[in-house]
Structure 1
Amino acid sequence: MQVDCIAFLLLDLSSFLIRRGIMSTTELYVVIGATGRTGSAAANTLLNAGKRVRVVVRDESQADRWAVLGAEVAVADLTDHFSLCKAFSDADGAYIVSPPQYSSETLFSQAEAMARSIADAATNAKLPKLVALSSIGAEQQNGTGWIAMNRMLEESLSGTGIPVIFLRAAYFMENWGALVKIAVEQHQLPSFLSPLNQKFPMIATADIGRIAAEALCENWEGVRIIDLEGPARYSPIDIAEHLSLTLGKAIQPASIPESDWALSIAGQGFSSAAISGFIEMTQGINSGHIAFHDRSNAECRTGSVKLETVIDALAAG
């Protein structure tokens, strides 16, 4: 395939330049989830820093753009031990994003299987270090819905003995995408987050990926936890007010009644198990159960992308 030829030529050129002393060797970092928002940002940050990058994709057709940018490409299934070990081979570290299978009724057991597979492959490949995307609230043992999948990943990777950083990211700013579209069309901003005047920690996925890449280039021992949030906290009212100014028309925020949550996201490809997980997670966020509580055992890093920037892009899109 064309992508194979491009990737081969780029790798062959790199080897030639290294042998001739024109280009020096550098660290090789693996990025799982490079076709997603945070993985893409991490891979680009590493490439821009002059690092060698190997992106892991499930489908080779997704690899073209990365091969052109100079990244190596590995095709692997996160439950396939052999292909994962091969993807991790000879790497200096990896950024791990375990993608949730929201359409599946067994998404939690699938997440657990992927977590074990990643941990086993990282161990067998003797990876020196890992950075993994986790979530605010992952320290809680129950009442977190979807975030339980992040907890599974943390538990599996912690047991490897490999130095690992867990990025416990706040609410993704991009989660407002569908709701902002409704606001543009109907002049009302629906919100799952409540109360409407409550300011919640949020972060842009571009910041998560950038910080992941920066952390991956660090050296450390043991397990580190880094809490991530944006430059400020925002309420649904703040978002509605910004949209009002941007669009030049009044946008009213409105809480979606909890009784309507399931219906609100039905038909978007979520299984009934995923919908139940979403409801439990959102209840936890609104109640304060899922929050940055005692941060004495965690580092804190702040992104630079403002929510207004993300909302403007969502509204324009």
Structure 2
Amino acid sequence: MKIVIIGGTGLIGSELARQLREAGHEVIAASPRNGVNAVTGEGLAPALQGAQVVVDVSNSPSFEDQAVLAFFRDSTRNLLAAAKMAGVKHYVALSVVGTERMLASGYFRAKMAQEELIQGGGLPYTLLRATQFYEFLGAIAYTGTVGDTVHLSSAALQPVAAADVSSALARLAMETPRNATLEVAGPEKAPLDQFVRRFMQATGDTRAVVSGPAEGYFGTPLTDASLTPGADPILGPTRFEAWLGKAAKAA
């Protein structure tokens, strides 16, 4: 089966491409660096020719409200049109757990617009919403830095290893379309600040942490339900301590 991965050279896409190739599929890892640009439409038609499945794991280079909305709207419209022309039978896309609960954020409004376009796009589809990746805990600490302290929300989080998200996407891409939205999360749920504190300790970051329910998440307020999955998500097998041990050695 020919499977085209949009954003196929990034964190999720490169691992997804590896897994699908190992399963015996023909994989095109498409991105602007190899001449396929979903935002402009450049290179989409030849990349999708003969494809049965397209998996969109691309992300906006800018998180500014208007820029991120334009990215997801333009890229999704172009992808849907090109996929229809190519006769694609299954459109898979990666989104974010809690999208509908986080609409105070421009990024989440953009992800909701993407989801709505896919749901109404006329192609069989599967949407997979993922919780925050372990790999982005450092970015959360960086964004919450004020002087010599790190300000973090104490709301619940259930983060997941990026490789486990790629594995879930690989399985879904090889299955029949669900025409539904699924969720994937890690095996452990705890306050966000606890995950980041453990990450900081493992990487030798000794800065003080200030946490509480009033602290935001990239500027957006959180509750315990904001970024955690509902009932029966796909659970990635990688526990945080196992991932953290490898990440600390690589740092």
Q: 2:227 aligns with which of 251, 272, 291?
A: 291
Q: TM-score, normalised by structure 2?
A: 0.82
Q: 2:123 aligns with which of 162, 169, 193?
A: 162
2:235 & 2:37 partners in 1: Cα distance?
32
**Post-superposition offset of 1:135:** 0.6
| Count of aligned pairs | 245
- Residue 254 (structure 1) aligned with residue 210 (structure 2): yes
Q: Structure 1 counterpart of 2:171, which letter?
A: E
Where does residue 45 of structure 2 map in the other structure?
Answer: 85
Structure 1 runs of 4+ aligned residues shifted over 4 Å read 178-182, 241-244, 246-252, 256-259, 292-295
- Residue 307 (structure 1) aligned with residue 247 (structure 2): no
1:311 & 1:46 partners in 2: Cα distance?
26
1:46 & 1:113 partners in 2: Cα distance?
27
Q: TM-score, normalised by structure 1?
A: 0.67
Q: Structure 1 counterpart of 2:20, which letter?
A: L
Whether the aligned pair in 2 keeps the contact of 1:231 and 1:304 (CA below 8 Å) is yes
Assess, with a 3 A threshold, how the Cα gap between structure 1 residues 44 and 179 changes in structure 2: closer, same or farther: same
Deviations 1:26-84 (A, max 9, x none): x1111111221111111111011111111102123xxxxxxxxxxxxxx2111233621
Q: Structure 2 counterpart of 1:127, which letter?
A: V
Deviations 1:237-286 (A, max 9, x none): 25535765x57998854339979x8xxxxxxxxxxxxxxx9423xx2xx2
- Residue 230 (structure 1) aligned with residue 186 (structure 2): yes
2:70 is paired with a residue of what secondary structure? helix
**Post-superposition offset of 1:167:** 0.8
Q: Structure 1 counterpart of 2:23, which letter?
A: A
Q: Equivalences for 1:237-276 in 2 at 5 Å?
A: 237-241=194-198, 244=201, 253-255=209-211
Structure 1: any 5+ residue segments left out of the alignment? 1-26, 61-74, 183-187, 262-276
Q: Structure 2 counterpart of 1:254, which letter?
A: V
2:27 & 2:203 partners in 1: Cα distance?
40
Assess, with a 3 A threshold, how the Cα gap between structure 1 residues 189 and 31 changes in structure 2: closer, same or farther: farther
**Post-superposition offset of 1:149:** 1.9
2:142 & 2:105 partners in 1: Cα distance?
27
**Post-superposition offset of 1:234:** 3.0
Where does residue 109 of structure 2 map in the other structure?
Answer: 148
Whether the aligned pair in 2 keeps the contact of 1:95 and 1:130 (CA below 8 Å) is yes
- Residue 216 (structure 1) aligned with residue 176 (structure 2): no
Where does residue 97 of structure 1 map in the other structure?
Answer: 57
1:147 is paired with a residue of what secondary structure? helix
Whether the aligned pair in 2 keeps the contact of 1:139 and 1:151 (CA below 8 Å) is yes
Greater per-residue helix proportion: 1
**Post-superposition offset of 1:140:** 4.2
Assess, with a 3 A threshold, how the Cα gap between structure 1 residues 157 and 87 changes in structure 2: closer, same or farther: same
Q: 2:13 aligns with which of 21, 27, 39?
A: 39
Q: Equivalences for 1:60-79 in 2 at 5 Å?
A: 60=34, 75-79=35-39
2:63 & 2:233 partners in 1: Cα distance?
33
Q: 2:27 aligns with which of 53, 58, 68?
A: 53
Q: Structure 2 counterpart of 1:279, which letter?
A: G
Bigger radius of gyration: 1
Q: 1:174 aligns with which of 108, 127, 135?
A: 135
Deviations 1:205-251 (A, max 9, x none): 11111110111000135x1211110011133225535765x579988
**Post-superposition offset of 1:171:** 1.4
Whether the aligned pair in 2 keeps the contact of 1:179 and 1:189 (CA below 8 Å) is no
Q: Structure 2 counterpart of 1:291, which letter?
A: L
1:294 & 1:179 partners in 2: Cα distance?
23
Provide the identity percentage. Answer: 23
- What RMSD in Å do the two structures reach over aligned CA positions? 3.3
Q: Structure 1 counterpart of 2:226, which letter?
A: I
2:219 & 2:4 partners in 1: Cα distance?
33
Where does residue 204 of structure 1 map in the other structure?
Answer: 161
Structure 2: any 5+ residue segments left out of the alignment? none
1:94 is paired with a residue of what secondary structure? strand
1:189 & 1:130 partners in 2: Cα distance?
43
Q: 2:219 aligns with which of 279, 289, 296?
A: 279
2:177 & 2:132 partners in 1: Cα distance?
27
